[in-house]
Structure 1
Amino acid sequence: MTIEAITQSLSASRFATYQSPILGGTSSEQCLGIYLWNKQLASVFLPALQVVEISLRNAIYQSYIQYEEERIERKFASHAWKEKKSQIDRSWFVTAFTQRNNPGAHKSIQTAINQLDKEKKPHTPENIIAKLTFGFWVSMVRNDFDIQKKSYLVLWPHLRGLVFPNALNTQTGRPLSINSIGNELKEINKIRNRLSHHEPLWRNQKAYQVEDIINKVIEHYERCLKVIYWINPSNLKLLDIIENNQKMAELCSIHALWKNKQLPGGIPSLPINKEWGKSIILDTSHIGEVIHISDNHILIKSKKDKVIFFGKKEEIHDEIGEYREHDLVKYYPEPSITRYPNAKKIIKV
């Protein structure tokens, strides 16, 4: 397996993006090493982007409902709260957008609903939210949805403190404008799209040296952490649990880039692993004791979890008449809607 065979499969035009003199991509081996470095950066970026996306969409959706509930509590007597709150449109982000007022958002919603239809899932707010893109929610964070615009959907400024409670100017301590927050989110969305299209994450036309390129990656990642903090600081702990920040710090170094550029030199000597899963796949079988035998089934008590399993005659390897109570058998468990879970591929041990 040669370097050329790999680079050709990546396409010449795409591979050319890694031919950066600043990064030292002056040979096929070096470019492939830079490509591998970018793949590792992308794998560490992904959890941070996911936390940003989930934090943002849930914060916007839930804050809208919370604001409406608080508005009802301010406006009406407590005996009317339950009825008034039940009238809140839980699918507000769907009903607000039409083909006329926002064709792009309307199309995104219809695409999400069509996907749910294919999967035969109900059109609940939670299901639709899960199908909508990150860009859909980013597009809401702009002044077009400010109360002064008298928009068909009003989000700002009254949701700003609920969605982005910690988005403050570091010098003045004053809340950042929605457009300022939205601009940061747009940059994150660009990185997300770049990652999904397998493009380099460090694009920096002003880069003079390798340190500038690495710093650009750090800047992108820091932006993700900053926005997560703006929405919910506790969600930053999710990245600490999986040591994501530590992994990114290790990759954002000149040494990590250098090390990756050395890797392709050993590719020709590496074996091609076609059966990766065989060595690590987990054994799902159970060992159990036969506790009951009839003409068309047996009951087995698992040694592993003491659960009783139902084994059809058709699932038994030998004739059912050859089995006796207390025999030990090996089988594969399968859930069932009946009283006992099923035992599959039953054989004596």
Structure 2
Amino acid sequence: MDWSDLEKHFSAARLGRYRASCNGDVARAAKAYVNNMLLAEATMPMLNVLEIALKNGVHQRLITLYKRSDWWDSWVSDPSFAWQVREVVSAKAKLQRRAEALTPDKIIAELPFGFWSSLFNVQFQTILWKDLRLIFPRCPKPQRQRHTVSSALNQIRELRNRVFHHEQLLWLSPSLIDLHGKAIEVVAWIDPKLPPWLASYDRLPTTWAAIQPIQVNHSGISRPVP
């Protein structure tokens, strides 16, 4: 397929970002688009492990805190949790449309990553943090601060959204490989046995190295990432 075919199917606006980053070289831009798809594919094992381990960790801690498996119902009358309650209502509605049971496990699976990362926001410092910090037993004590965990999770949430909305990953700042490293660090905070297990299936580091993506420096000249 030539460049005009790609623009027809993927839009000039979407491909224009790649073309601009490659100084107008459409052959390099087309290759960059393909490389971006390969990088998105390679992020999936890491995103899978982190998101599922996080949500299950939060779920178990909040069951203990509220002494009920549907702990979100404890928030219905609390304005501090208005957004989270709306997300639960939305999750239940999706399940009902699919004629699925409204069990805690189903609702947990339906809630988006943004729901889980929001529980580490500053407004929940005194409400949830003392319990949620226990999800990260191997986080070094100087780093086991709400703002540190929240910042890391928000970076990963933004990366996840980029991956799932098929946005560019080649020229991020921090770089994709640095964000991947931060995600693996968070996974290790949950359980240090997870990163070596994940490494057997995690192709992002080798894919990143093999692709050698092009990055535009401040002068506008493209150069390979070392």
Deviations 1:7-45 (A, max 9, x none): 321111110111244xx4532221110011111110011
Unaligned runs of 5+ in 2: 214-226
Q: 1:239 aligned to 2:198?
A: yes
Equivalent position SS for 2:129: coil
Which of 155, 165, 168 matches 1:200? 168
Deviations 1:139-184 (A, max 9, x none): 001332233xxxxxx2222431x2111222xxxx535211110011
For 1:180, the equivalent position in structure 2 comes to: 148
Task: Give the total of aligned pairs.
Answer: 214
> How many Å separate the matches in 2 of 1:248 and 1:188?
15
> How many Å separate the matches in 1 of 2:75 and 2:62?
12
User: Which protein has the bigger helix share?
Assistant: 2
Which of 100, 105, 130 matches 1:157? 130
Q: Percent identity?
A: 26
User: Which protein has the bigger strand share?
Assistant: 1
> How many Å separate the matches in 2 of 1:159 and 1:41?
31
Q: 1:250 aligned to 2:209?
A: no
Name the aligned partner's letter for residue 188 of structure 1.
Answer: I
For 2:105, the equivalent position in structure 1 comes to: 126
Q: Alpha carbons of 1:98 and 1:39: their partners in 2 closer, same or farther (altered >3 Å)?
A: farther
> How many Å separate the matches in 2 of 1:47 and 1:158?
27
Q: Alpha carbons of 1:89 and 1:66: their partners in 2 closer, same or farther (altered >3 Å)?
A: closer
For 1:85, the equivalent position in structure 2 comes to: none
Alignment of 1:1-349 (within 5 A): 1-21=1-21, 24=22, 26-66=24-64, 88-98=67-77, 100-147=79-126, 154-160=127-133, 162-168=134-140, 173-204=141-172, 216-242=175-201, 244=202, 247-253=203-209, 256-257=211-212
Q: Which has the larger radius of gyration?
A: 1
Q: TM-score, normalised by structure 1?
A: 0.56
Name the aligned partner's letter for residue 232 of structure 1.
Answer: D
Equivalent position SS for 2:157: helix
Q: Alpha carbons of 1:138 and 1:105: their partners in 2 closer, same or farther (altered >3 Å)?
A: same
Deviations 1:42-74 (A, max 9, x none): 001111111111011110111233456xxxxxx
Deviations 1:260-289 (A, max 9, x none): xxxxxxxxxxxxxxxxxxxxxxxxxxxxxx
> How many Å separate the matches in 1 of 2:9 and 2:100?
38
For 2:216, the equivalent position in structure 1 comes to: none
Q: CA deviation at 1:114?
A: 0.7
Equivalent position SS for 1:176: coil
Q: Alpha carbons of 1:250 and 1:146: their partners in 2 closer, same or farther (altered >3 Å)?
A: closer
